[in-house]
Chains A and B, each alone.
Chain A
């Protein structure tokens, strides 16, 4: 009997079906990789298994018993523990490592009101010994590396006598050595009979440890690949078509160079690299979380500084000190996480579609200061028809729009005025397939500028770009994938 058996599980958000009847099972002592593009339903599935979301339908059984956790702590008690991507939520600076290890115990009712430091240390030591980790118990949690925080989270998970450990992008912020250490630990846990569901975009990781890969697409598990895992066919299953298929509208990079970077170091310790973007070209940069994609884009946009190197825009030296400098030089950026980086809160002035588009252009569109005349309304109407934004009108609040339409609005903001270089950081986050298609068409329709897109999802990169570059540890890798001609697999699976 499998440890976990998931049958016909469904979950919808409004009209979007995030999970459309997923079936799979996991055995004890097995490391299962879960693969899937953004929006394939991975995170919804994980959230259901970890008790964050409830399923709309279907059944999950764990150890032959029905499993439908209502909260993460219920899931934990039943034996399913999830270690999320952002491990800074595990503890807080100012707590010792021992405190962080026992944090969940402090919140339990059975714990005595007074706890002595000695007993905390004793219990924490026991937890670490059981897991086989070594961490400085008296150290400050805030001083731990990302890898060690991950270990704290895992040790806590194991102390709960977990049967199934879910790891969401655990190596995203780890160095190669740290990842290897984590893998050794995971393999020894597997030997003890623990089942591990491992979610990652890094094919190399999956190759190193996974016994089996489950591939999700469109809210279903569409494939299961046993060891030795054939990753190219797994990726083809994931994106639903052959990788070699050439893009019909591919353009060779023959336009004049718009933007050049020479001997760039993003961090003082990272290796230097060059980058040239041509007019009319769409270039995607992929890489795992923390590889430096956002940092590269922020540096080009003047929000973060470069450690060293020179940038040139249209042949002239370009050194922006702020976003305002970059915008003045015709560089535009739609930053990652549109809620945080682009939108005004609900019921706050400027949360309408028109005002969202006009925010960076107010001084250009309203040189006299008074918001008279319908310029922003008019621009918004154009954007609505050009990008196919589904909204009640230009004055509708962006909060009445779906994620895809919000993202279209943000893109419309930066397309409202001509730019030489458009930077898009994770433009397809929380965007459904239809809207993604519209956005890609809109991006590719413009040939008067260079476009640089950062995305952690290889499929997205492949769909949108003429060229795919890979960034790792804050430097661009020399392998350049030309989508038009060659097989994209090396670039995709880095």
Chain B
């Protein structure tokens, strides 16, 4: 901890002064670290474009964003739970069961898109409430509670269909055939592009990102969410209800996971029992890479979105350069390790 002496006190608002070369180097270093993810992103785009000019097509860029939209939306939820000092491991399972729930609602229950979407979002919010109940009321540690919820949901989603994937003409456990079908309006969420360029899922990602960014960084609720994660005792002694704030965080996380599930269902057009396998890992990775963005060293929504896009661009470029698919997880892991090392290892010396 540094202590300011009266004499050495810098004037209010003064930025890092570059009086000597060493200081200037330090300042440059911190600027580089703050923008590292964006600089690397720019370099990657240039590099991939140079190697494969088709990379820079607006269509390809949009497909990258579309591919990362679900991870980014889920990652934003993870970010909010990280902000309150929690962790939501159930988001992948919530998204997967939301795919099943949406398919079941339309194919078996014959609901249309306007009933299905609110129903699935409510499902996600309800899971968030259950998580919050376990964590806040029963005081189960967050990792354990949401891990248990993850197991529960991965099993629960199999029960209504006796383990079968849901598509039109599904044979139900009682032997009858489901007669419903996906609502075409619902499919638009995953497949329609505004002006033929901007996919709806990318719009959803952007809206979720902006709303959550404003909520977490620019409102008093956001300040209190972070305060809960930063020092729960202090937040309670300041008169805020940390139980309500934590509940809010898990409900937001569950709802966003359900939204991610809706996007997947609308893209795939069926309820696959195996969907959403790597979602949890990918979105947690995006949130953690987000720590490095702007060198904030804390969960932040903007960083999470940037992290998801970063990984998406890297994977898309490598795929175009014919990197085999099985290297993908390795690449993601390497990016995560690099980002965390950058944030915690290199950034440490300068601020003391």
Whether chain B is bound by chain A comes out as yes
> Which residue from A323, A348, A351, A399 sits with its C-beta under 8 Å from B236?
A323
Closest CB of chain B to A294's CB: distance in Å?
12
Bound complex: CA A341 to CA B6 (Å) = 27
Contact A350–B227 (Cβ < 8 Å): yes
Instruction: Say whether A186 faces chain B, with CB atoms less than 8 Å apart.
Output: no
> Which residue from A326, A355, A400 sits with its C-beta under 8 Å from B3?
A400
Instruction: Say whether B2 faces chain A, with CB atoms less than 8 Å apart.
Output: yes
Chain A positions within 8 Å of B327 at CB level: none
Contact B298–A363 (Cβ < 8 Å): no
Instruction: Please list 12 pairs of residues, one from A and one from B, whose beta carbons are closer than 8 Å in the complex, sorted by A's number.
Output: A323-B238, A326-B239, A344-B227, A348-B226, A348-B229, A349-B222, A350-B227, A359-B240, A363-B220, A370-B218, A390-B9, A393-B13
Bound complex: CA A145 to CA B154 (Å) = 48
Bound complex: CA A342 to CA B217 (Å) = 20
Chain A residues packing against B (C-beta within 8 Å): 14-15, 301, 303, 322-324, 326-328, 333, 335, 340-351, 355, 359-360, 362-363, 366, 369-372, 390-394, 399-402
Closest CB of chain B to A430's CB: distance in Å?
12
Contact B218–A360 (Cβ < 8 Å): no
Chain A positions within 8 Å of B233 at CB level: 340-341
Contact B298–A324 (Cβ < 8 Å): no
Q: Is the interface of A mostly helix, strand, loop or mixed?
A: loop
Contact B240–A340 (Cβ < 8 Å): no
Instruction: Say whether B14 faces chain A, with CB atoms less than 8 Å apart.
Output: yes
Contact A15–B5 (Cβ < 8 Å): yes
* Further contacts, 7 of them, CB under 8 A, given A349-B227, A350-B227, A390-B6: A341-B237, A344-B231, A369-B219, A392-B9, A392-B11, A392-B14, A394-B12
Chain B residues packing against A (C-beta within 8 Å): 1-6, 9-14, 214, 217-224, 226-227, 229-231, 233-241, 296-298, 351
Given A348-B230, A370-B219, do A360 and B3 touch, yes or no (CB 8 Å)?
no
> Residue on B with the closest CB to A394?
B12
> Residue on B with the closest CB to A335?
B237
> Residue on A with the closest CB to B219?
A369
Bound complex: CA A14 to CA B6 (Å) = 12
Contact B231–A343 (Cβ < 8 Å): yes
Given A344-B227, A392-B14, do A14 and B5 touch, yes or no (CB 8 Å)?
yes
> Which residue from B13, B234, B298 sits with its C-beta under 8 Å from A359?
B234
Chain B positions within 8 Å of A341 at CB level: 233-234, 237
Bound complex: CA A82 to CA B20 (Å) = 47
Contact A345–B231 (Cβ < 8 Å): yes
Chain B positions within 8 Å of A351 at CB level: 230
Contact B223–A323 (Cβ < 8 Å): no
Chain A positions within 8 Å of B226 at CB level: 344, 348-350
Chain B positions within 8 Å of A349 at CB level: 217, 222-223, 226-227, 230, 298
Chain B positions within 8 Å of A399 at CB level: 1-2
Closest CB of chain B to A253's CB: distance in Å?
28
Chain B positions within 8 Å of A323 at CB level: 236-239
